[in-house]
Amino acid sequence: MFDTLREFFARHAGSLAAELATVAGFILAVLLVARLMSEKRAPAATFAWLLIIVLVPWVGVPFYLFFGGRKLRRLASTKSHVLPVIPGAKLPPGNSINRPVAQATVSAGAPPPIGGNTLELLTDGQQTFAALEAHIRAAKHSIHITTFILGRDDTGRRLVKLLAARAREGVKVRLLLDAVGCMFLSRAFLRRLTRAGGEVAWFMPVLHFASRGSANLRNHRKIAVFDFHTAIAGGHNLARVYMGPQPWRKRWRDFSAVVTGPAAVQLHEVFVADWCFTTGQPAEKLRADFDAATACAPCGHAELQVVASGPDVPGDALYEGILTMIHESKHSLVIVTPYFIPDEVLMRSLIVKARAGRAVTVLVPAKPDHYITELARRHSLRELHAAGVDVRLVGPAMMHSKALLVDDRVAVFGSANFDPRSLFVNFEIGVFVHSHPEVLAMKAWTDDLRQHSHAFRPGRPRGFAPLRNLAEEVSRLLAPLL
């Protein structure tokens, strides 16, 4: 009898294994679909994932396991205990256009706006590098920097050399790098800094994603904080194409700002949470020299609101704040973004505003650095243009700036692009500007961008129409996964 059973299993082992694998794959796909439906995703993203999981499960299931996560509830819970509330933050007056925007972000988990800050705009790479270098040299206690990309070029080498020099002088230097954005950066490149006593950490190494979350969750924040009370935040990565000591004709247009005051303390707390999650170090270690009275002391009149977005926060405060800004616009609306792939809600909101007579302007690069984003945005730009939106193509250099201004009364800038990845997946940072003089300064900057742009004209598309349309539709479908 046992010989007969042994012979049966030996003869049919291959088919049984295949059937078991099929059943296991089907059960896993069902579980993943149930998890996917329970997550708060944009409809397009949900549909794209459902399509790939159901139609090609042998591709979709492992792809989702590796790239599909959007929120880390345990991380959000842990970080909520790390981030303190800075005294003095409050909602704007009830009769202010800013109040609905602030209310929406606060309801989604962000801190209220806080006054007593200064805001210095950094509108080109040379100016940004000079400010970064000056603050690194002036720091007395700590230099904490997080970036998506650190270049292996002259800019990256010069910054690492300077940070190493400050570390040797006793300043606490901590550098947090995204493991994917800096995947081609060797440890040897940073040895000068680590040997000088500086600390370097790699955010979510891809090979260790299983214990910390999805490899798709990348830290796209760009924050540098000096002595707890001064910060630089925005879109600039630490590489030659973004910034440098000398002008360079191939440098991208980008935007950041120097924040001094209580809002800088809030930016520092975002760094603290990211660093502690990555390294496991206690938050108290990073606050050893923190003097709350000095760091939180008012130093200006700018009213700012720091809003973190990503898997480490329970809601989507940045997205809801942006959506509220669009809905509350009464006169004008200006979007500046390098990658424009809005979801259906944002797209429809912009079209309705334009048809209602609002002056809606969208500034995007004339030539994006990724061809697939060019394909994915074409349909949206054509629809907006048809609805009366003033679509402007900025050039000739690639534009990497990210901002939104409404009615010259409220604005937001930071690291997030106008696409599903930034708004729903990445770790991002946004700074809402609620004070009128600072918003007007940002308006002057967007007006200057207009001077280096030309109007979008749909014209007659090139290429074989069916193939071109298919490429655009596939790019739009996959956009939430990019």
Question: Of all residues in the chain, what percent carry a pLDDT higher than 90?
Answer: 61
Whole-model pTM: value is 0.84
Between 216 and 381, the more confident residue is: 381
Three-state secondary-structure class, residue 366: coil
Instruction: Give the residue from 417, 413, 333, 420 showing the smallest Cα distance to 369.
Output: 417
Q: Which CATH number applies to 317-481: 3.40.50.300, 3.10.580.10, 3.40.50.1110, 3.30.870.10?
A: 3.30.870.10
Residue 84 has a pLDDT of 54
Between 289 and 397, the more confident residue is: 397
Residue 5 has a pLDDT of 45
What is the torsional sign of CA 218, 338, 308, 166? positive
Residue 482 has a pLDDT of 54
Between 267 and 2, the more confident residue is: 267
Confidence of residue 217 (pLDDT cuts 50, 70, 90): confident
Three-state secondary-structure class, residue 205: coil
| E strand or H helix at 200 | strand 199-203
Residue 310 has a pLDDT of 87
Above 90 in pLDDT, residue 480? no
Residue 477 has a pLDDT of 58
Omega before 396 cis (within 30°)? yes
Please give the biggest Cα pair distance in the chain: 89
Instruction: Give the residue from 99, 132, 107, 135 showing the smallest Cα distance to 432.
Output: 99
Above 90 in pLDDT, residue 471? no
Question: Of all residues in the chain, what percent carry a pLDDT higher than 70?
Answer: 75
Task: Read off the pLDDT of residues 91-120 as tens digits, 9 standing for 90 and up.
Answer: 888 777 799 999 999 999 899 999 999 999
Strand residues in 130-189 grouped as ranges (E): 142-147, 172-178
Above 50 in pLDDT, residue 82? no
CB proximity list for 79: less than 8 A, separation 6 or greater: 273, 277, 312, 313
Task: Read off the pLDDT of residues 128-175 as tens digits, 9 standing for 90 and up.
Answer: 999 999 999 999 999 999 999 999 999 999 999 999 999 999 999 999
Confidence of residue 297 (pLDDT cuts 50, 70, 90): confident
Confidence of residue 35 (pLDDT cuts 50, 70, 90): low
What gap in Å lies between CA 9 and CA 17, rounded to an integer? Answer: 10
Residue 88 has a pLDDT of 78
Residue 370 has a pLDDT of 78
Confidence of residue 348 (pLDDT cuts 50, 70, 90): very high
Above 80 in pLDDT, residue 37? no
Q: Which CATH number applies to 73-302: 3.30.870.10, 3.10.129.10, 2.70.98.10, 1.10.1060.10?
A: 3.30.870.10
What residues are paired with 453 via a beta bridge?
394
Domain positions in the chain: 12-67, 73-302, 317-481
Instruction: Give the residue from 97, 154, 47 showing the smallest Cα distance to 328.
Output: 97
